[in-house]
């Protein structure tokens, strides 16, 4: 069903982009024919590439997958540019609909010029925005965030916690990408590493080699992970076991104490917000995760979705680290995401006690583009308030 709906959406987008560019420009017939074949071919490639990315080795179909997802991103911005230029023209045309026919006919050449100009602006605007998005997808930003925690002992002042989120190893990102992430994290000299879900898109058997560099993410206090929604789509049980085999400490509605008596804080983690749909054992249970914790110690919670922060604030969590939103990834999707998540990106003070930081995502999902939402590796520096 997903493939059918996805294909229909791309076909509708391609038709609209065609109408607002090629058809509106009234190009010569050979050009229209050639571009029609190109539009049809790229649109048909989208579902084929998605299916191939699920069934074939990643390296063998990477080029086709990349081309298909680039086309999806271009169609999205073709829709935005097309609507933004067409709707004002349509309103003007309707306002002038009462003018006499002779005047309309005398304006034929002017209207033709305007249609062609609008068509060119739509094509150029969509292509330029997609190109900027492509460039932005690889422009990692290290966001250094200083969080004061009243319960953090002075001995741990300056504790460096690196957060990764939404790596989405799979159709587009593989082992080479993960090695780059590993190198960048190592340069930040973390005391601990937190991975807040959506690590993969695919099965363990397909991505075993691609995620191997996760085992090289080392820090003195450990590397911790919680599940995201995409782990459930790809087989949550096998993946959690595989993450453990790589040396990652999976926090499945659990908490641990880091440090020694007098110089410690606690780190907790919960399953994804919607995990219960895949079995009661995978439902998030924050009360269980925090049960028995030392209330005199600062508590850092790893939770994939920012929506957990409401309960986290009620239960006295000092800091929540989340991802999921991608910061919107493709503008203006962030406005829609903000309707269902309390925070889109960045650091916020929630209530009287709880801080939350929402990572924009270290990787991406879907079109290999990021517009006004660059990928992020977060360096959280904890200070004793």
Do 268 and 363 fall into the same domain? yes
Do 54 and 153 fall into the same domain? no
Q: Tell me if 243 sits within 8 A of 298, measured CB to CB.
A: no
| Element spanning 76, H or E | helix 58-95
Nearest-angstrom CA–CA distance, 152 and 163: 19
* Nearest Cα to Cα of residue 188 among 317, 360, 378, 50: 378
Identify the domain boundary among 83, 112, 136.
Answer: 136
Q: Which range has highest mean pLDDT (3-12, 46-55, 286-295)?
A: 286-295
pTM across the whole model: 0.93
Q: How confident is the model at residue 272 (pLDDT cuts 50, 70, 90)?
A: very high
Nearest-angstrom CA–CA distance, 341 and 343: 6
* Nearest Cα to Cα of residue 45 among 34, 61, 32: 61
Q: What does DSSP say about strands 299-302 and 263-269: parallel, antiparallel, or unpaired?
A: parallel
The CATH number assigned to the domain holding 268 equals 3.60.21.10
Residue 55 has pLDDT above 90, yes or no: no
Q: Supply the range of the domain harboring residue 180.
A: 141-384
Q: Tell me if 133 sits within 8 A of 370, measured CB to CB.
A: yes
Burial, 57: exposed, middle or buried (Cβ in 10 Å; 0-12, 13-18, 19+)? exposed
Do 61 and 165 fall into the same domain? no
Do 123 and 155 fall into the same domain? no
* Residue 344 C-beta-side C-alpha neighbours within 13 Å: 15
* Nearest Cα to Cα of residue 302 among 151, 217, 198: 198
Nearest-angstrom CA–CA distance, 377 and 144: 9
pLDDT tens profile 156-183: 999 999 999 999 999 999 999 999 999 9
Do 20 and 168 fall into the same domain? no
Hey, what are 348's tokens?
A: 């916020």
Do 187 and 301 fall into the same domain? yes
Do 43 and 112 fall into the same domain? yes
Identify the domain boundary among 136, 152, 176.
Answer: 136
Region 360-379: what's the mean pLDDT?
97
Do 65 and 148 fall into the same domain? no
The count of structural domains within the chain is 2
* Nearest Cα to Cα of residue 308 among 292, 293, 290: 290
Nearest-angstrom CA–CA distance, 99 and 78: 32
Region 39-64: what's the mean pLDDT?
93
Do 126 and 185 fall into the same domain? no
What pLDDT, on the 0 to 100 scale, is given for residue 116? 87
Q: Tell me if 37 sits within 8 A of 81, measured CB to CB.
A: no
Do 66 and 173 fall into the same domain? no
Average pLDDT, the chain: 94
Paired strand residues for 195 = 164, 225
Do 162 and 88 fall into the same domain? no
What pLDDT, on the 0 to 100 scale, is given for residue 96? 67
Region 209-228: what's the mean pLDDT?
98
Residue 93 has pLDDT above 90, yes or no: no
Identify the domain boundary among 110, 136, 162.
Answer: 136
Residue carrying structure tokens 């990834």: 329
Do 90 and 204 fall into the same domain? no
């Amino acid at each position: 069903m997903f493939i059918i709906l996805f294909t229909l959406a791309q076909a509708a987008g391609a038709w609209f982009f065609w109408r607002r560019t090629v058809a509106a420009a009234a190009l010569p017939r050979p050009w229209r024919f050639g571009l029609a074949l190109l539009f049809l071919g790229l649109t048909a490639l989208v579902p084929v590439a998605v299916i191939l990315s699920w069934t074939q080795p990643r390296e063998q179909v990477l080029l086709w997958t990349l081309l298909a997802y680039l086309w999806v991103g271009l169609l999205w911005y073709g829709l935005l540019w097309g609507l933004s230029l067409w709707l004002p023209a349509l309103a003007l045309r309707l306002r002038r609909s009462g003018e006499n026919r002779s005047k309309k006919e005398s304006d034929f050449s002017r209207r033709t010029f305007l249609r062609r100009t609008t068509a060119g602006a739509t094509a150029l605007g969509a292509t330029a925005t997609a190109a900027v998005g492509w460039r932005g997808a690889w422009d990692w930003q290290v966001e250094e965030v200083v969080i004061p925690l009243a319960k953090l002992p002075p001995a741990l002042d300056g504790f460096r916690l690196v957060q990764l989120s939404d790596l989405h190893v799979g159709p587009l990102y593989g082992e080479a990408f993960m090695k780059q992430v590993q190198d960048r994290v190592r340069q930040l000299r973390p005391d601990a590493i937190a991975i807040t879900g959506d690590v993969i898109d695919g099965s363990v058997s397909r991505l075993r080699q691609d995620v191997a560099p996760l085992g090289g993410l080392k820090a003195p206090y450990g590397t911790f992970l919680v599940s995201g929604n995409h782990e459930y789509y790809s087989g949550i049980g096998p993946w959690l076991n595989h993450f453990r085999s790589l040396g990652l400490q999976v926090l499945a509605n659990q908490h641990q104490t880091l440090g020694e008596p007098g110089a410690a804080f606690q780190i907790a983690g919960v399953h994804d917000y919607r995990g219960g749909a895949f079995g009661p054992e995978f439902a998030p249970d924050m009360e269980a995760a925090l049960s028995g914790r030392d209330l005199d110690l600062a508590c850092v919670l790893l939770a994939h979705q920012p929506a957990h922060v409401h309960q986290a604030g009620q239960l006295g969590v000092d800091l929540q680290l989340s991802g999921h939103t991608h910061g919107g990834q493709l503008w203006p999707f962030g406005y829609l995401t903000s309707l269902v998540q309390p925070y889109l990106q960045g650091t916020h003070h929630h209530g009287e006690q709880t801080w939350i930081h929402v990572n924009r995502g270290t990787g991406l999902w879907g079109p290999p583009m990021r517009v006004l939402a660059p990928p992020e590796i977060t360096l959280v520096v904890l200070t004793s308030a």
